[in-house]
Amino acid sequence: MMNSTRIAVCGFGSRSRLFQNIYIAEQLALLWRELPVDKTPRTHDFSRCKPPPQTPPSEGPGTAFQYGCDAALNTGIEHSTKTINKEGLTEEGCKVIGRLTDTAAYYTQIIMSDPQQMMSSLLQKNTSTAILFNNATESGELNIDIPCGPRGISGYAMEAMTQDALKLAKEHLPWLSINIRYGVVLSDIDLSDPTHPVLTIEDVKTGEVETGIVYDLVIKCSGTTFEVPISGAIEENGFAGIPNSGQVEEYLETQKILDNEGYIIPGKSIFIGGIGLSAFDFIGIILAKTKIVKFDPKTKEFTINKAEAAWNRNLMTFFSYTYPTFFELARILTTASYSNHKQPFQIEICQLLIT
């Protein structure tokens, strides 16, 4: 039997949640197979600094997967990330255990609940995600092996997984105590005794500090910091939020870039800092604010209005302190490989609109 254990996990994004769910799934599998289970008290303390000010402290598992993130996935979604021995479990037990670590199953359940309505929503928010979803559902089923929609839905999927795991743990694993604190950050760690790290936790809003918190293990997850390196007038007048369609639209309105119908006025140009993936996240969102790309729901094909594209020439200009590498530039075309096979859509759009 192990001694009572207290673990601190700094962060509550996708990695932390999977760590938690895998542990719970493993314990449930042992319990339901009537195998020995260590029932000595165990505490898992999760702490998460609040996300950017545009969102509530508890919204979404990590910056990249916040519920309001309309940016496209760049990869497919893996099924269960951990193989857990289910031998001897009932069919229902296997299903419950498997889903605790299966983001793909939850993602599919959410995005395919009403495919037609989902497509309509994606067309309004992000042209790139609409193209991906259209291609990934070509067979009538969702192909999760390729990029298939927005990242924000992954946030909803992971939150659903988290809540299911917490509910099962409370019901079946009473010796496990799970605490989740938002709006706090690890400010110091004392490793005088490496086997028992002592943490100092600070409330990011009030500045209140807790010291002398002893743990057996500390896990520091390294996620997206969302620190935007701008200041002064650029920070005050630029947009530095998450890639959210509504927030981008609100910003464009304040800059008087949109017409009365909510479309970008032809001839306007948007200056985007960076040549990495986070910069390119905004391409599809900006395109959705134009009349350049059209979708035919009957043929399920996308077309480019060449006249609109010509009027919006140089719609987006990217700048960077460093020279772009082939790899960096290629990222802008990531979704092209997964678009309608009849026309490599994103490539043509990029050639028409981007400098």
Separation of alpha carbons 72 and 254, rounded Å: 25
Q: Residue 322: what pLDDT?
A: 67
Residue 256 has pLDDT above 90, yes or no: yes
Q: Which residues pair with 317 in a beta bridge?
A: 271
pLDDT in tens, 288-343: 999 999 999 999 999 999 899 889 888 888 877 665 544 444 444 444 444 444 44
Mean pLDDT is lowest, of 120-124, 179-183, 207-211, 332-336, for 332-336
Q: Where are the domains of the chain?
A: 5-220, 232-353
Torsion of CA 159, 160, 164, 170, to 10 degrees: 30
Instruction: State the residue for tokens 């060449």.
Output: 306
Q: Residue 213: what pLDDT?
A: 92
| Percentage with pLDDT > 70 across the chain | 81
Best CA proximity match to 70, nearest among 156, 159, 183: 156
pLDDT in tens, 98-127: 889 888 999 999 999 999 999 999 999 999
pLDDT in tens, 51-102: 444 444 445 566 667 778 999 998 888 776 567 888 899 999 999 998 898 8
Separation of alpha carbons 39 and 316, rounded Å: 58
* One-character DSSP codes across 235-286: HHHS--S-S-HHHHHHHHHHTT-B-TTSPBPTT--EEEE-SSHHHHTHHHHH
Residue 133 has pLDDT above 50, yes or no: yes
Give residue 229's pLDDT band: very low, low, confident or very high (50, 70, 90).
low
Q: Residue 84: what pLDDT?
A: 85
Separation of alpha carbons 73 and 330, rounded Å: 15
